[in-house]
Structure 1
Amino acid sequence: MGDFDIIVIGGGTGNKVALAGANRGLDVALIERGPIGGTCVNRGCNPSKTLIHRADIVQTIARADEFGIDAAVAEIDFRSIVREVTKTVDGKSERMERTDRNHDNITLIREEARFVDERTLETDDDERVTGEKIVVAAGARPAVPPIDGLETVEYLTSTDALRLDSQPEQLVIIGGGYIAAELGYFYESLGTSVTIIGRSDVLLSNEDREVAEAFTEIARRRHTVHTGHEATGVSQDGEEISVTAEGKDGEISVTGDALLVAAGRRPNTDLLDPDVAGIDIDDRGFVETNEYLETTAENVWAQGDITGNYQFKHAADHEAKYVEKNALDGERRAIDYTSMGHAVFTSPQVAGTGKTEEELDESNREYVVGKCAYEETVMGKAFKERDGFVKVLADPDDGEILGCHIIGADASTLIHEVLLALASGSGTIGDVTDTIHIHPALSKVILKAFEGV
């Protein structure tokens, strides 16, 4: 196919770099075998959060009687909901592809490609492309653990679960992370009975322990939850799927008419043969990068899920800005993750940034804790938020914010006040407590937690 100024592998957030290069007048090749937009647009953030908003509406109606309002959900058109969301995200992907195809400086290669030499790839059609520079942004895909009998069962991954035509009556989920939490919430809210089997003793085990324990207790009210269990076998008889799992108290067996495997994600490096190009990967299969997002190969950068730095869309977008400066403009800017946060869009929402209390204990770092329950604020009482709280961890000497963890309504929005303090201020408790907070906005729960330090 020829030589290019830059080759971008991956049309998710890599599409940003491809367009940035093309707009600078560079000759760009964009390699993407799937829909443009990658995981976020097609198989992740966009469809999942749009579907989850429907669950939020159902939950609001379900709680209406708590506020003296007589309301009920008369009917849920599951197929219509999924089809509308699918049409929306597919339309966005198609518009993105048209933009790429219509750009004079972009050659869109809709095939899989592997490295065959330094900065050289070969497509499925045996065509070779070479780039002066390369950006590896090929993402990740659902991980499928080696469970006995799984290959004989019609199981779902997160990709499939976002595009079902019919709603399961009983859904079994293997996995206890954010995908299990979010999709479990969506399906349960729309009427599916959900069973979750998680390996750890709590759901969302990567969160601060106190948050994870609170969420697990809430999830048990909504689902059947088996924590501390390892799925060991799967079988199917007609439409019924059975899952066996081992725990410290013995074996359990659960059944359903659908099985979702939500056991994490794996990088797509095995599809690229990066070692041929001199690109090192770590023992988990992720591309190794330095602070400039350079790989071990000359003139090759990497960003997004395939690096394993942070597997969030906003992290990939952040990295793309640095790759544009370093790869396209010849700068050497070290990436800064100081204000990196994350959120889980379930009910209640979960959000966090920085270290957990357990991580600080393991590193023998001294810290103090500030905490405020939602129900200790005016708006928290108005919302009848009985479970939510904000927890902040800080240095006892200078007030440096070491971590902040939230479970409760609008946690994904509230955390941004803390992220802004980390990014723009000194990153101390005072950056928050010295800010005038509108009363009685829900953000007062942040203020009170920080004042508690």
Structure 2
Amino acid sequence: MREFDLVVLGGGTGNIVASAAADEGLDVAVVERGRLGGTCLNRGCNPSKRLIHHADVVQTVREADAFGVDATLHDVAFADIVEAVTETVTEQAERKAERAREHDRIAFYQTEGRFVDEREVEVDTDDGTERLAGDRVVLAGGSRPLVPDGIDGTDDVDFLTSDDALRLTELPGRLVVVGGGYVAAEMAHFFRQMGSDVSIVGSGAVLVDREDRDAAERLTEAYEREHDLHLGYRASELAGESGEVVVTAESEDGDERTVRGDDVLLATGRQPNTDLWNVDAAGLETDDEGFVETDDYLATSVEGVWAIGDIAGNYMFKHSGDKEAEYAVENAVRGNRERVEYPGMAHAVFGSPQLASLGRPESDVDGEYAVGTREYEDVPLGSAMRADGFAKAIVGEDGGVLGFHVVGPEASTLVHEVSTAVAAGADAERIAETIHVHPALSEVVQGAFRDACGTTQSGI
């Protein structure tokens, strides 16, 4: 058995912890079955947003005539685009692996691994297996696409997950996307702009139904113009028929419909990789969905073991995982007791339009509160862009920001104005009265907060 000061399981957010620990003089083992960089770099937000940017460019060209620009889209080099993105992220991952192998304090095991005891891990080697023991362990084991048990035919019919879709080099003529969350919305946008006819089968009444309802409805209305939506229907079966994939879906009242395509993408959520790491052997407590339970310091039920990122399920975002890695460095590596906080935590859906959110949706707000909104078309730059979107601020009685939601161009950027303000302790009035550059798009944010605070400017 080989012993280490720290064993890190997972090379996504975990590599942040491993690198910091090694730089501080600890002997570190990193176990990662795939490429370093984890889901985000290799199979998630990094390649997907690179691909989606291409889709955004294509959409801009398609819609150029609305601005008096005569532009014609002759071709989209789909395979070349995907292969270039794949090459870029693969090179980044390989550079990470090279740095890990060159570090004299890091032992990098690019192989399968699993718990066999509280702080002992077995890894596969060319000669069989090897056991690693750590004084401390940080589990950053990630997640993977969920394939629901409730869909019949998944053993018999070929289907795509987001992992596959991001590296697909032949564009489907007709694509059926099963799911209505952020992965479904983003992938549907990408493939539609690349040239596929896209149908979406989602069980919710709207797309991204965990978001604020007003924001979700606005995004859904936009998607109805570009996609064939089947909302309120839960997929129950996949079947192959005459070279097609047939998706059967049912509504709650028993109505059944079929949707046909050349390929089907299951974008029905993600599940933690706790089973792959055999966390039961370590005695780690998990919740009903399989996420490892952690306390306010990211410590698990087993002494000397911490968990971060998707597998812990606090937030399933790369930016929250990176923040948790910083706390893991403090607590697991340096022996401190830093309580985890997520100041100004926001997230975004990179669809068309974009949607970004911070805090609570209005349906989750109790007590007295005020709501303010501002349409993109009511601010000069939004009007010039002919942008269909809006911002919504939810403000408590004390002036605190309870929620902020924005749908439209650059939503993923605009939300950071509110995120930074909240993290700095500013209230809604401070955001409303901060002098904004005119006519910047951020005036839509200021307008929503002025509306909520009752300070909207008047004029003739």
TM value normalised by structure 2: 0.96
Shift, 1:238, TM fit = 4.8
Question: SS where residue 346 of structure 1 aligns?
Answer: coil
Correspondence 1:303-452 to 2 at 5 A: 303-360=308-365, 364-385=366-387, 387-396=388-397, 398-426=398-426, 428-452=427-451
Aligned to 2:456: none
Tell me, yes or no, if structure 1 residue 214 matches structure 2 residue 221: no
Which one of the candidate residues 132, 142, 148 is aligned to 2:145?
Answer: 142
Match of 2:232 among 204, 228, 232: 228
Cα deviations by residue, 1:133-178 (Å, 9 ceiling, x for unpaired) = 0000000000001211111111000000000121000000110000
Q: Is the 8 A contact 2:433 2:450 kept in 1?
A: no
User: Following TM superposition, by how much is the alpha carbon of 1:357 offset from its aligned partner in structure 2, in angstroms?
Assistant: 0.4
> Matched residues, percent identical?
50
Partner of 1:6: 6
Contact kept in structure 1, 2:287 and 2:293, CA below 8 Å: yes
1:233-312 correspondence to structure 2 within 5 Å:
233-247=237-251, 248=253, 250-312=255-317
- Write out the 4+ residue segments of structure 1 that deviate beyond 4 Å after TM superposition: none
Instruction: Please report how far the alpha carbon of residue 249 of structure 1 lies from its aligned counterpart in structure 2 after TM superposition.
Output: 6.3
SS in structure 2 at match of 1:202: coil
Q: Deviations over 1:287-346 (max 9, x none)?
A: 001110111110111100001111000010111111111111111110111311000001
* Counterpart contact for 1:304–1:315, Cα < 8 Å: yes
Cα distance in 1, alignment partners of residues 243 and 131 from structure 2: 46
Kindly tell me: are residues 222 and 434 of structure 1, through their superposed partners in 2, closer, same or farther at Cα, counting changes over 3 Å?
Answer: same
Return the alpha-carbon distance in structure 1 between the equivalents of residues 36 and 328 of structure 2.
Answer: 19
Counterparts of 1:365 and 1:107 in 2: how far apart (Å)? 54
Q: Mind listing any 5+ residue stretches in structure 2 that lack a counterpart?
A: 453-460
Give the letter aligned to residue 326 of structure 1. N
Aligned to 1:132: 135
- Once residues 315 and 246 of structure 2 are traced to their aligned partners in structure 1, the CA distance between those partners, rounded to angstroms, is 34
CA distance in 1, matches of 2:100, 2:115: 23
Structure 1: gaps spanning 5 or more residues: none
SS in 1 for 2:274: helix
Distance across 2 between alignment mates of 1:225 and 1:131: 50
Deviation at 1:117, TM superposition (A): 1.2
Distance 1:277 1:179 in 2: 32
CA RMSD of aligned residues (A): 1.0
Q: Find the residue that maps to 1:438 and give its secondary structure.
A: coil
Letter of the 2:390 partner, please give it: F
CA separation in 1, counterparts of 2:442 and 2:142? 35
SS of structure 2 residue aligned to 1:185 = helix
**Aligned partner letter, 1:376:** D
Task: Provide Cα deviations, 1:97-129, integer angstroms capped at 9, x if missing partner.
Answer: 101011000001112211111201112333110
Q: What letter is aligned with 2:85?
A: V
Task: Give the structure 1 partner of residue 204 of structure 2.
Answer: 200
The SS at the match of 1:270 is coil
Aligned length: 447
| Cα distance in 2 for residues equivalent to 1:227 and 1:415 | 28
Distance 1:122 1:400 in 2: 49
Q: Distance in 1 between matches of 2:287 and 2:364?
A: 22
How far is the alpha carbon of 1:435 from its aligned partner?
1.7
